[in-house]
């Protein structure tokens, strides 16, 4: 019968149960060591069946490999998780996680990534970077040491004290509070998965849980684009060679969507023109409906018309060349509304801001701007705003509503005369910022109407054919010729 014994300044025990050797130490008294020993014995003999070798024979690094294999395929943002996990795997010189994007379903779940493990080859560092790499290694030496120690420990032996020491090392090295919280979250998810899926129980609960001393999160961004700034940026976007950026930025301001939602998720089939919503099947938070404002309807209608014309031109060209006509692109139901990449859009936005001499505004700040605008328009009606933004909690929604004291003063006094300083889209039509291209197109249409051209559109209403269904756009909205360049 195993008994606790004196080990240095504390007490320890050794136990062999069901072919597993358990060694635990650091107990202040023999009674506490015996209590823990009985708990472990009961867990290994009477608890639920555990997966793998169990927490007493599996290191944290190896557990991260199994976790990555089982969990990361279903996480849309798994590329960020893989970078944090790989730092633990490198500490043990284990193969690292390599992700390949896929689109499929498995057992009723959406699969985003195929997970593989690859051996990393040694990197060749240029002589000019050697000094920089040495400085980097010295700056993170303590956290690297703590991370390697955690990676080598068996899961059952990891305590809150060990994780706290690792997080404290990150803080001492000057890492941002958000980085520290993300590292803690990765460990917390690992232990939660081990408990829920592998049935690995841990003494005292999740060691990366609520008992840690964490730094306060930095205040979120509160940059809001003004109407005057949008007018200058939108003109620069029209002059940019990528024709998709200007309508994308407009749509983000009108809908408060994340850039990834229209870029990667939005297909023509997702637009419900009757209900005036976007039916996104796979947004960041899952399936959601995005309400479309009148301005958003105009933007999408113009894009649909342009895509339809491009499709018709392509089919005519194929017929002239006597080639089989392949329908569906670029205006098929499965075609993307914005066939471009985030990197291309980000570059265009950066260059447009520079040309417009607008500083300190990022592409994601359009979401902050839109949420703030709708908070003013709907008098802070949070249920309405959260339906527009797609946030699940009021806490997250409030991080995007960035009202200033000046906004409140204007509301108190009913003073909106200086519209240029208001959030972009509030009290103005966003398409006004593209006035040069708009006037050019409207002038052409006005000339056609005056000459009695057959089929010309009436000024009061413009009929658009979208997926074979006529849609009517109110006459007080402006159709923007996004495909044209500003003069």
> In 47-77, where does DSSP find H-type helix?
60-71
> pLDDT: is 305 or 129 the higher one?
305
Domain's final residue, options 196, 212, 247: 196
**Is this structure's pTM higher than 0.75?**
no
Q: Considering the domain boundaries, does residue 453 fall inside one? A: no
d(CA 15, CA 30): 15
Q: DSSP string of 90-159?
A: HHTTPPEEEEEEEEEEETTEEEEEEEEEEPPPPPPPPHHHHHHHHHHHHHTHHHHHHHHHHHHSBGGG--
> In 8-51, where does DSSP find H-type helix?
30-46
Q: What is the pLDDT of residue 472?
A: 40
For residues 256 and 183, state if they share a domain.
Answer: no
Structural domain including 71 reads: 60-122+130-196
For residues 341 and 290, state if they share a domain.
Answer: yes
Residues 261-314 have pLDDT tens digits of 999 889 999 999 999 999 998 777 778 999 999 999 989 988 888 888 887 887
For residues 163 and 286, state if they share a domain.
Answer: no
For residues 21 and 84, state if they share a domain.
Answer: no
> Which residue do the tokens 């839109």 mark?
370
Residues 336-382 have pLDDT tens digits of 999 999 999 999 999 999 999 999 999 999 999 999 999 999 999 99
d(CA 119, CA 4): 43
For residues 159 and 305, state if they share a domain.
Answer: no
d(CA 158, CA 132): 33
Q: Considering the domain boundaries, does residue 207 fall inside one? A: no
> Which residue do the tokens 């023999």 mark?
30
For residues 32 and 69, state if they share a domain.
Answer: no
Q: Considering the domain boundaries, does residue 285 fall inside one? A: yes
99-103, 117-121, 322-326, 460-464: which range is least confident on average? 460-464
Is residue 473 within 8 Å of residue 457, measured between CB atoms? Answer: no
Q: Considering the domain boundaries, does residue 465 fall inside one? A: no
Q: Considering the domain boundaries, does residue 55 fall inside one? A: no
d(CA 100, CA 106): 16
For residues 312 and 245, state if they share a domain.
Answer: yes
For residues 396 and 337, state if they share a domain.
Answer: yes
Q: Considering the domain boundaries, does residue 54 fall inside one? A: no
Average per-residue pLDDT in the chain? 83
CATH number at residue 339: 1.10.443.10
Highest mean predicted confidence (pLDDT) among 123-127, 198-202, 447-451, 481-485: 198-202
| Interval 124-141 mean pLDDT | 78
CA 438 to chain centre: 33
**Sorting pLDDT into bands at 50, 70 and 90, what band is 1?**
low
**Is the model's pLDDT at 222 over the cut of 70?**
yes
Q: Answer left, alpha or beta for residue 376, where phi above 0 means left and psi between -120 and 50 means alpha.
A: alpha
**Sorting pLDDT into bands at 50, 70 and 90, what band is 455?**
very low
Residues 407-433 have pLDDT tens digits of 888 888 888 778 889 999 998 888 655
For residues 389 and 333, state if they share a domain.
Answer: yes
For residues 175 and 296, state if they share a domain.
Answer: no
Q: Considering the domain boundaries, does residue 52 fall inside one? A: no
Q: What is the pLDDT of residue 158?
A: 92
Q: What is the pLDDT of residue 62?
A: 94
Residue among 151, 141, 154, 157 at smallest CA distance from 53: 154
Cα angle 374, 336, 342 (rounded to 5 degrees) comes to 65
Is residue 479 within 8 Å of residue 441, measured between CB atoms? Answer: yes
Q: Considering the domain boundaries, does residue 375 fall inside one? A: yes
Residues 91-103 have pLDDT tens digits of 999 999 999 999 8
**Is the model's pLDDT at 468 over the cut of 80?**
no
**Is the model's pLDDT at 437 over the cut of 90?**
no
**CA-to-CA dists, residue 136 to 129, 144, 173, angstroms:** 11, 11, 11
Residue among 411, 480, 440 at smallest CA distance from 254: 480
Q: What is the pLDDT of residue 88?
A: 96
How many domains is the chain built from? 3
Q: Phi first, then psi: give them for residue 241, nearest 5 degrees.
A: -70, -20
Neighbours of 102 (CB within 10 A): 11
Is residue 35 within 8 Å of residue 204, measured between CB atoms? Answer: no
Is residue 426 within 8 Å of residue 295, measured between CB atoms? Answer: no
Domain's final residue, options 390, 405, 433: 433
For residues 268 and 377, state if they share a domain.
Answer: yes
Domain's final residue, options 196, 216, 246: 196
**Sorting pLDDT into bands at 50, 70 and 90, what band is 481?**
low
**CA-to-CA dists, residue 370 to 39, 134, 219, 409, angstroms:** 55, 44, 19, 20
For residues 249 and 397, state if they share a domain.
Answer: yes
């Amino acid at each position: 019968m195993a008994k606790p014994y004196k080990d240095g300044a504390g007490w320890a025990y050794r136990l062999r149960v069901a072919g597993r050797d358990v060694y635990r130490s650091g107990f202040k008294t023999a009674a506490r060591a015996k209590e823990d020993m009985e708990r472990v014995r009961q867990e290994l003999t009477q608890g639920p069946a555990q997966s793998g070798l169990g927490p007493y024979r599996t290191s944290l690094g190896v557990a991260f490999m199994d976790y990555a294999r089982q969990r990361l395929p279903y996480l849309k943002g798994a590329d960020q998780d893989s970078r944090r996990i790989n730092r633990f795997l490198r500490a043990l010189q284990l193969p690292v996680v390599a992700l390949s994007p896929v689109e499929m379903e498995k057992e009723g779940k959406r699969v985003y990534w195929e997970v593989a493990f690859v051996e990393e080859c040694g990197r060749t560092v240029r002589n000019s970077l050697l000094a920089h790499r040495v400085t980097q290694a010295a700056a993170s030496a303590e956290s690297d040491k703590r991370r390697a120690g955690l990676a080598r420990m068996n899961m059952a032996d990891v305590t809150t004290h060990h994780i706290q020491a690792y997080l404290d090392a990150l803080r001492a090295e000057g890492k941002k509070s958000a980085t520290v919280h993300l590292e803690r979250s990765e460990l917390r998810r690992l232990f939660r998965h081990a408990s829920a899926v592998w049935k690995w129980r841990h003494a005292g609960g999740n060691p990366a849980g609520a008992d840690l001393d964490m730094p306060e999160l930095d205040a979120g961004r509160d940059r809001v684009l003004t109407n005057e700034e949008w007018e200058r940026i939108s003109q620069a976007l029209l002059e940019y060679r990528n024709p998709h950026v200007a309508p994308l930025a407009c749509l983000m301001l009108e809908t408060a969507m994340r850039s990834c939602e229209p870029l990667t998720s939005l297909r023509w089939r997702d637009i419900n023109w009757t209900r005036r919503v976007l039916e996104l099947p796979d947004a960041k938070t899952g399936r959601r409906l995005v309400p479309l404002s009148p301005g958003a309807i105009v933007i999408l209608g113009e894009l649909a018309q342009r895509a339809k014309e491009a499709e018709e031109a392509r089919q005519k060209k194929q017929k002239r060349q006597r080639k089989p006509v392949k329908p569906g692109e670029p205006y098929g139901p499965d075609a993307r509304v914005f066939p471009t990449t985030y990197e291309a859009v980000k570059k265009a936005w950066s260059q447009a801001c520079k040309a417009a001499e607008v500083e300190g505004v990022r592409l994601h700040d359009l979401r902050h701007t839109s949420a703030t605008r709708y908070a003013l328009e709907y008098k802070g009606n949070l249920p309405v705003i959260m339906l527009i933004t797609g946030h699940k909690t009021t806490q997250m929604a409030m991080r995007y509503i960035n009202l200033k004291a000046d906004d409140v003063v204007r509301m108190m006094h009913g003073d909106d005369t200086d519209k240029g300083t208001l959030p972009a889209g509030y009290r103005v039509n966003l398409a006004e910022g593209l006035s040069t291209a708009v006037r050019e197109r409207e002038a052409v249409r006005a000339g056609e109407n005056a000459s009695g051209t057959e089929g010309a559109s009436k000024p009061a209403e413009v009929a658009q054919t979208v997926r074979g269904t006529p849609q009517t756009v109110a006459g007080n909205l402006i159709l923007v010729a996004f495909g044209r360049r500003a003069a």
